[in-house]
Amino acid sequence: MPEESPMISRTSAAGSRSTDPCVTLDGRDGEQIQVLVRSPEPDDQALGLVLDCMTRSAADHSPWNQYLRSDISVSDMPVKLDGSRRPGGYQPSPVPRGIHLRHHDTLLKKLFPFTDITLICDPDSRDTVWGFSVSEVDCLHFIYVKSAFRRFGLGSWLLRETGLWGDEVVMSHRTPALYRAWPGIRWLWNPYRMMAWN
């Protein structure tokens, strides 16, 4: 079983425009971080961030690429003169990036109404998103925390909030970071879960 839950306390956001709860987490070196937890509104600009992050990640780590490695991210690969990234053994998606981006965007827009999206934000600015999770009752679609806020337990907290924390978790989007962050979880990859609403 993965690591224990970090210390969590909930308070109302002091001076906040909303009644969204704040969560305080113990992170690296005993530091604490407070975040505002909320769900996006239908016309929330944060949905654009979620959509963009998921779409670009799916293009970088394509479901059609069978050679995804947990220790190499597409953004870490050396860039060739033609702009492509390809270390030894890496195979780019057979689907051109532009087509992948456009159609994955459409797919996610159809999926979102059937998911739970949790945003973790700056407690002083609910529009400044530090991370998010997208899930259903039995599937993690995506989890993301901005690099400056990693190692505070935010990703683990988001994963626990989905109710999917355990030895095995079904996921629809796979990334090297997911495998690195939780090596003790057996990730069951099923890209067709992002189309379950159809």
The confidence score (pLDDT) of residue 170 equals: 94
| pLDDT top residue among 116 and 33 | 116
Q: What confidence category does residue 60 fall into, taking pLDDT thresholds of 50, 70 and 90?
A: confident
Residue 109 lies in a domain: yes
47 assigned to some structural domain: yes
Q: List pLDDT tens digits, range 72-86.
A: 444 445 555 565 555
Neighbours of 17 (CB within 10 A): 8
Residue 152: inside a domain: yes
Range of the domain at 114: 8-68+93-195
Sequence-distant (≥ 6) Cβ neighbours of residue 71 within 8 angstroms? 176, 180
Average pLDDT, the chain: 79
DSSP codes of every residue in 129-180: EEEEEEEETTEEEEEEE-GGGTTSSHHHHHHHHHT--SSEEEESS--HHHHH
* Residue 30, in any domain of the structure: yes
- Residue 11: the pLDDT is 39
Does some domain include residue 157? yes
| Residue partners of 164: CB distance under 8 A and separation at least 6 | 135, 138, 139, 140, 170
Closest C-alpha among 33, 35, 16, 32 to residue 119: 35
Handedness of CA 154, 160, 166, 172 (dihedral sign): negative
Residue 140: inside a domain: yes
12-45 per-position pLDDT tens digit:
334 333 467 898 887 767 788 899 999 999 889 9
Q: Quote the pLDDT of residue 64.
A: 65
Q: Does residue 88 belong to any structural domain of this protein?
A: no
Phi, psi of 84 (to 5 degrees): -80, 160
Cβ(117)–Cβ(50) under 8 Å?
yes
Question: Number of folded domains in the chain?
Answer: 1
Q: Are 81 and 185 in contact (CB under 8 A)?
A: no
DSSP code of 101? H
Q: For residue 190, what is the domain's CATH number?
A: 3.40.630
DSSP assigned state of 88: T
Give the integer Cα–Cα distance in Å for 115 and 60. Answer: 23
- Residue 87 DSSP code: -
pLDDT band at 68 (very low <50, low <70, confident <90, very high): low
Q: Is residue 85 part of a domain?
A: no
- Give residue-wise pLDDT tens across range 132-154: 999 999 999 999 999 998 888 89
pLDDT band at 67 (very low <50, low <70, confident <90, very high): low
In the predicted model, what is the mean pLDDT of residues 176-188? 90
In the prediction, which pLDDT does 10 show? 39
